[in-house]
Amino acid sequence: MGLGDDLMITAFVEDEKKKYPNKQIVIGNVKEKIIFDSLIFQNNPNITPINKVDKNKPIHFINYHNRNRPYFDYQSSNNDNWKWNMNFSPTPGKLYFKEDEKTTARKILNEAKDHWEKNNNSKFKAIIFFESTSAKGDRSFYYNKMKNKDWGESNWKELILRLKNEYLLIQTKHEKTKKYDGLFESSIDFNFRVACAIMNHCDIFLGSEGGLSHAAAALHKKAVVYFGGWIHPKVTGYNFHENIYFDNFKSPCGAVGYICSHCEEARKTITVDNVYNKVISILQN
């Protein structure tokens, strides 16, 4: 599962724990009797870690895995196009940080602020946490999907150039991260959880639909999220975010088996001016 999927299930987990307070809550594939672990589940008081499951005590198994996600319409999907369950909308998940993650996040934020002060004569207006690329990168299975979901490097580059002189922009750090001029990159290595702990201190998340947009929702952060025309914001978006959607008769296409011309049209139709104005409007209000 992706980290966004893991975040979506944590809201359901919290409700289940209230129903079954004396049971161990685990997540996985019931049929195959597999329990899953995730970075997202760490430190969550409602989920019993795999290495602490006591088979002699009651267990409540949540059946949630790659072939059982509530936002999919499995019957209508095929290998080229995924279809969505338009009756589903997510509830913001839950993240529980460890003290060392909070400490690392504060160090990186201080590093970013020091970097700004050394390179700018004015104070930044706000802190923007940015990520446009998935850690899944260009692995064969994901290449078409991630290409179709992306707004495009040139669009992100222009947007960052327009923001960087007034706003402190911090990006994630993983091996697939694209480098853009104007984004602060820490000298400290950090994982997804620390990225989320950093975001918790930022004013807004800016980027594509994915794990970090779900993290922004879990942290109750404002966000401008690019959806394009691949998936509908109703299915994996949140109504307190500004979701940039290409409202077209072909949307949402869910194209995974090919590079989609409709998604290319979305990239061209959704302008930098449009997204920039959304970001500024949120930050000013």
User: Residue 138's pLDDT is what?
Assistant: 55
How does 57-96 read in b/e, with b if 16+ C-beta sit within 10 Å? eeebebebbeeebebbeeeeeeeeebebbeeebbebbbbb
CA 68 vs. chain centroid, Å, equals 20
Pick the CATH number of 99-284 from 3.40.50.2000, 3.40.640.10, 3.50.50.60, 3.30.1510.10: 3.40.50.2000
pLDDT tens profile 212-269: 999 999 999 999 999 999 999 999 999 999 999 999 999 999 999 999 999 999 999 9
User: Residue 181's pLDDT is what?
Assistant: 84
User: Residue 176's pLDDT is what?
Assistant: 66
pLDDT tens profile 172-223: 876 667 778 889 988 888 899 999 999 999 999 999 999 999 999 999 999 9
Residues of the chain with CATH 3.40.50.2000: 99-284
pLDDT: which is higher, 27 or 188: 27
